[in-house]
Amino acid sequence: MGNELRDSHGRVMRDLRVSITDRCNFRCLYCLPETEEAANFYRSKWDAARNPRPAALEPIRYEWKPKSDLLAYEEIERVVRIAVSLGVEKVRLTGGEPLLRRDVPKLVAGIAAIDGVRDLAMTTNGFMFARHAEALRAAGLRRVSFSMDSLDPANFKRMTGRDGHAEVLEGIDQARGLGFAPVKVNAVVIRGMNDHEIEALAAFARDRDLSFRFIEFMPLDSSRAWQKDLVVPAREILARLKAAFGLVPVDQSTNPSETARRHAFPDGRGEIGLIAPVSEPFCGHCNRLRLTADGKLRTCLFSMEDHDLRPLLRGGATDAAIAARLVEIVRGKEAGHRIGQPDFVQPQRTMSCIGG
């Protein structure tokens, strides 16, 4: 397995995102907007713009995968081990909500034991994190990213469809207390929904010494309700935060593939990152792959094609054969996504079914 995962554009894959379930206990506005409040929000935006929903953009009807379709932990560990042998160094467990699956610390321990995994992290909505935090830490998880789009419990519920603000705060504080570092918190910013909280969220990050990431709203929702007018560009967010806090840029020259443009507070407490896939795509340095819960390898969040590894995993293929298939898939990785272009097509899988 002397090959490396290099695509035809010269990018080498070092980062593997592994979704372990497509299910989620939240119904976020930007992913699974199935609540009445979400429908009312989007409906008001269409009406205000006199822009009715195009007939071609029907909602995505997605059924959760049966348990038999999901990769077993042993199968996930095998894919990770093979990917690491080809140069992958960072592994992040995602969902859906990963902590909805049983015995996640067992999987964490298995991956942490793989020689060559230099960075093992998890993205979670945080609702169930506090009850699993100690076991995850003991198993070898070292970093965690939470999703928290609002500091206002009522607005939090509007955005997530769940009254879980207190639980997420508890999870964040638990992670800090147990020594997870850095503790990251992500917020998707939607104009007219939570953009008025940008400064408050940044102050929260400084107060708790967090790495806070503001993410532009991407077209990955099941309602296909995304509109460019609802995107708050990262440059607008940064201008507001510079004015409020005097942020200073962080030198990132040694890691050009990092997705966030990072800025520090002058007193050194906390950090702000801006992720701008819509207004300032970072595809040219992308080094990520995504493995879905049902065993599909995706070379981009917005790929129109999945590459099914499950037949190989369950059909007696050798590690060498699977490695060769990974090399082949990566060679065809897209140059970049087409968000904002006339020919852009939203993938059939939502964020929940791909993995963040």
What's the average model confidence in pLDDT over 52-58? Answer: 52
Position 254 scores a pLDDT of 80
Picking from 55-59, 113-117, 281-285, which range would have the lowest pLDDT averaged per residue? Answer: 55-59
Q: Residue 244 has which token pair? A: 């409020």
Position 19 scores a pLDDT of 96
Position 324 scores a pLDDT of 97
Position 62 scores a pLDDT of 64
Q: Does domain 15-354 have CATH number 2.40.50.140?
A: no
Picking from 77-91, 207-221, 232-246, 275-289, which range would have the lowest pLDDT averaged per residue? Answer: 275-289
Distance CA 293, CA 21 (A): 5
Strand ranges for the chain from DSSP E: 15-19, 90-94, 119-124, 143-147, 183-189, 211-216, 248-249, 261-264, 271-275, 288-291, 296-298, 307-308
Per-residue pLDDT at 49 exceeds 70: no
Beta-carbon contacts of 345 under 8 Å, excluding residues fewer than 6 positions away, are 304, 338
Position 348 scores a pLDDT of 55
Is residue 209 within 8 A of residue 270, CB to CB? The reply is yes
Position 71 scores a pLDDT of 98
Distance CA 77, CA 82 (A): 9
Position 50 scores a pLDDT of 52
Complete DSSP assignment for 131-183:
HHHHHHHHHT--EEEEE---SSHHHHHHHHSS--HHHHHHHHHHHHHHT-SSE
Position 305 scores a pLDDT of 82
Radius of gyration from C-alpha coordinates of the chain = 20
Q: Residue 189 has which token pair? A: 């910013």
Per-residue pLDDT at 346 exceeds 70: no
Per-residue pLDDT at 61 exceeds 60: yes
Q: Residue 24 has which token pair? A: 């989620």
What is the enclosing helix (H) or strand (E) of 198? helix 198-208
Q: Given pLDDT bands bounded at 50, 70 and 90, which one contains residue 1?
A: very low
Position 79 scores a pLDDT of 98
Q: Given pLDDT bands bounded at 50, 70 and 90, which one contains residue 39?
A: confident
pTM over 0.75: yes
Q: Given pLDDT bands bounded at 50, 70 and 90, which one contains residue 55?
A: very low
Distance CA 87, CA 352 (A): 27
Whole-number mean pLDDT of the chain?
Answer: 88
What's the average model confidence in pLDDT over 67-73? Answer: 95
Q: Given pLDDT bands bounded at 50, 70 and 90, which one contains residue 351?
A: low
**Residue whose structure tokens are 């067992």:** 106
Per-residue pLDDT at 8 exceeds 90: yes
Every domain of the chain and the residues it spans: 15-354
**Residue whose structure tokens are 């603000």:** 165
